[in-house]
Amino acid sequence: MRQQVAGALGSDVGEPLGVAVSGGSDSVGLLTLLNEWRLDGGPELRAVTVDHGLRPEAAKEARAVARLCDGWHIPHTTLEWQGWSGTGNLPDAARRARYGMMAAWATKAGVPSIAVAHTADDQAETFLMRLARSSGLDGLSAMAPRWQQGGVTFLRPVLGVTRDELRSLLRARGVGWFDDPTNADPAYERVRARQVLQALAPLGIEAETLGDVARNLADARRYIEAQVALAAQDVARIEAGDVLIDRSKLSELDPEIARRLLQQAILWISGAEYPPRGPALKRVMRGIDAGDSATLHGCRFLIRAETLRITREAQAVAGLTARPGEVWDGRWRLSGPAMEGAIVAALGENGLKHCPDRQNSALPAASLRASPAVWQGQTLVSAPLAELENGWSVELVRRENHDFAALISH
């Protein structure tokens, strides 16, 4: 099992390697395997526990994890979340907070990657939950073995290991764990999925079975994504942050390839975590065929005779600010002379009026209104994309997990 985990992480895993440990059997099992690998020449480890503050037992469990790590000479940090408002989707809010806090911790601690203990059981439970939502190929495909967040790589090295296998390992090593009572509460969707999985076992539908199905679907998804990449290279190009697509070539693509191509462009421009809903995107696609401009998911679709231009919607960035040198709207960085009180914000209609050379820009007015500019109070200082530089420069930076530009250049 240790060799399986080491192989899943790969030879290029950064050091020190972070490991998320809640105190449950999955994460303690992962920590045990990684520690044995460390003692046999593997990477140094840094453990992190997030106390969500939602159960009185959580603090005690975090202290127990700290003691275990201390005994194994593994540095350990507990992060405390106090951001729950009491409303909304608690599991989703806790998940977002957990990964955000761990990414921030890793960046500060110089930890390039963090291993998390998603198992074959988690894979199967997720498959069932998404099946209940009528998910398509993307939703039913296997969990990604790695992903980026906040500049940190998160890794899932035990996706091929079951929960029972990890518990058997811990029993053999004499290592204890904590059982979270919420993992038996049917009020949670994942618990209900776990119960359904147990009921399906007599039919031979087990975690390993659904994991195989998910991986088969992931293979099909990768093939389709490769076709999307080929299509993107042929029909699309980037112009100052906008995506330009040849309309005639787009119309000749398979509808699913065309849909995914537009979806990727939308995600890259908007920075949204999730793509637009299928019916909404299909309406826009019908409008493109008919020559109708539209807005969707923080993007504008501008129709020209031969070209579809996808740009940022000005309303989506109204009020969004950053300091010079920081990334604005997830894609733009403006740099220039030191200037007290300067901020980066959208150019807008008012700013566009103060750009006398804007006609020299390759971008239309709709794109320029949503472009980054430097302001000092109500005074426009610079709008590089609108040909008003004043010593400032603009850089289009890579958007994490949504790099459409790289898709085109492959």
Go through the chain and tell me how many residues it has. 410
113 appears as a binding residue in the annotation: no
18 appears as a binding residue in the annotation: no
23 appears as a binding residue in the annotation: yes
Q: Cα(355)–Cα(349) distance, rounded to whole angstroms?
A: 10
Terminal-residue alpha carbon distance, the chain: 36
Beta strands in 52-143 (DSSP E): 76-80, 113-115
Torsion over CA of 79, 83, 86 and 91, rounded to 10 degrees?
-50
Q: To which H or E segment does residue 345 belong?
A: strand 342-346
24 appears as a binding residue in the annotation: yes
142 burial (CB, 10 Å; 0-12 / 13-18 / 19+) is buried
Torsion over CA of 243, 247, 248 and 254, rounded to 10 degrees?
80
Using DSSP, state whether 373 is helix, strand or coil: strand
Residues 6 or more apart in contact with residue 129 via CB below 8 angstroms: 189, 190, 193
160 appears as a binding residue in the annotation: no
**CA nearest to 334, candidates 298, 297, 386:** 386
What are the backbone dihedrals phi and psi of residue 128, each rounded to the nearest 5 degrees, phi first? Answer: -65, -40
26 appears as a binding residue in the annotation: yes
Contact 88, 95 (CB under 8 A): no
**CA nearest to 358, candidates 384, 335, 332:** 384
Binding site, by residue number, is: 22-27
Binding site membership for ATP: which residues? 22-27
